[in-house]
Amino acid sequence: MTGKLGKCMTLDRFLAQCQKKHPQASGELTRVLMQLSTVAKIIASYARRAALLGIKGLTGKTNVQGEAVEKLDRLSNDAFIEAFEYVDIVGAIVSEEMKAPMLLHSGNGQKKYVVLVDPLDGSSNLEVDCVTGSIFSIRNFGSARQEDILHEGAQQVGAGYIMYGTSILFVYSVGDGVHSFVLDEEIGEFVLDHENIHMPDRGKIISSNFGNRLRWAEPARVFADSLIRDSDHAYSLRYSGALVADLHQILHHGGIYFYPEDDRRPAGKLRLLYECAPLAMIAEQAGGLASTGRMRVMEICPDSIHQRIPFAIGSKYEITEYEKAYARESTT
């Protein structure tokens, strides 16, 4: 970081350095990541000043998911769309806030990527000035038709998240490990914070909405009870209401976040394409796992752009135990 070593490894310098290791690289992915980092700064400034700017609260509209849209959900979505109007290699954008994929740069050639986003994860936290995030996935562009976007997570070219907390963090992977950057507001740049993050193989954090425990599918309940009963390995409960923040802790300290299917949401709550798959890529690149309980998230072929799945993500030990609980259920 700026002060620590007297050196300043900014995001653009880091990406330039990585690019040199791959002489065949065109620099196009770097352009996409840099534009995402600009969006991060814009949304961070909205989130920080939401009360002052009078942009807290609901718009009065509901989105395609049937959820109430916060003013900042809409502004964040607009910030992503605007960003990619300047990057002609991004041919389409898919967002939690939009019913269908949005085609960008119609008529221009050279489209290479589609970007999928949850513009503001945990937006209900905004009302009380708590942590929020954004999640992104970068895939190869075929067309803006849904069938050309519905591919398994293993085909993602890159993924990451932005966390708007006490610091603003930009965390990404393009398949060569997970790197995190912190916004140095004095110089207006993201500066390297952690290179090649490795998630502990077993952790101490359990993160889930225990208010739903009686509604969860049986294997999730059995798993949670057995983990909490383990007297040799004490777990701490952490749950913020923003997946990005909960995963970020687990990335560093290990453990598990899970949002299983329950009697109100038999398909689960979280969205595959712009929440689960990108975070699964981050977890796997950091040495962790992501699963529905029954299968690896990165192998699911989506059937619609807003598909939901039951989701568990975290350290190898905890996710393996979670899957064992589901496997036991199917043999009984």
CB of 258 to ligand AFP, least distance (A): 10
3-state secondary structure of 92: strand
CB of 115 to ligand AFP, least distance (A): 18
The reply on whether position 2 binds ligand AFP by CB under 6 A is no
Task: With contacts defined by CB under 6 A, name the span among 22-30, 149-157, 236-244, 295-303 that binds ligand AFP.
Answer: 236-244
Buried b (16+ CB within 10 A) or exposed e, 113-149: bbbbbbbbbbbbbbeeeebbbbbbbbbebeebeeebb
Q: Is the Cβ of residue 191 or residue 270 nearer to ligand AFP in the bound state?
A: 270
The reply on whether position 121 binds ligand AFP by CB under 6 A is yes
Please count the residues of this chain forming the interface with ligand AFP, following the rule CB under 6 A. 11
Residue from 162, 243, 251, 305 touching ligand AFP (CB under 6 A): that is: 243
The reply on whether position 124 binds ligand AFP by CB under 6 A is yes
CB of 73 to ligand AFP, least distance (A): 8
Q: Is the Cβ of residue 105 or residue 213 nearer to ligand AFP in the bound state?
A: 213
Residues 270-299 that bind ligand AFP (CB under 6 A): 270
The reply on whether position 59 binds ligand AFP by CB under 6 A is no
Amino acid code (one letter) for 222: V
Q: Is the Cβ of residue 67 or residue 88 nearer to ligand AFP in the bound state?
A: 67
CB of 15 to ligand AFP, least distance (A): 27
Mutual orientation of helices 28-48 and 11-20 as an angle, nearest 10°? 160
Task: With contacts defined by CB under 6 A, name the span among 36-44, 119-127, 177-185, 299-307 that binds ligand AFP.
Answer: 119-127
Nearest residue to 233 (alpha-carbon basis) of 108, 328, 321, 110: 321
CB of 198 to ligand AFP, least distance (A): 23
CB of 80 to ligand AFP, least distance (A): 14
Residue from 209, 221, 252, 253 touching ligand AFP (CB under 6 A): that is: 209
Cα gap 227→220, rounded to integer Å: 11
Residue from 123, 156, 180, 315 touching ligand AFP (CB under 6 A): that is: 123
Cα gap 199→192, rounded to integer Å: 18
Positive or negative: CA dihedral 117, 119, 123, 129: positive
Task: With contacts defined by CB under 6 A, name the span among 12-20, 235-243, 280-288, 304-312 that binds ligand AFP.
Answer: 235-243
Give rounded-to-5 percent helix, strand, coil for the chain: 40, 25, 35
Residue from 242, 256, 297, 312 touching ligand AFP (CB under 6 A): that is: 242
Q: Is the Cβ of residue 121 or residue 189 nearer to ligand AFP in the bound state?
A: 121
Nearest residue to 119 (alpha-carbon basis) of 267, 271, 14, 268: 271
Cα gap 159→29, rounded to integer Å: 11
β partners of residue 278: none
Structure tokens belonging to residue 292: 């529905």
Cβ 272 vs Cβ 258: under 8 Å? no
Nearest residue to 270 (alpha-carbon basis) of 306, 316, 302: 306
The reply on whether position 45 binds ligand AFP by CB under 6 A is no
Residue from 241, 307, 316, 324 touching ligand AFP (CB under 6 A): that is: 241
The alpha-helical segments, DSSP class H, found in the chain are: 2-5, 11-20, 28-48, 50-53, 71-84, 218-229, 243-253, 277-285, 316-331
Cα gap 112→64, rounded to integer Å: 27
Chain residues binding ligand AFP by CB under 6 A are 67, 121-124, 209, 241-243, 269-270
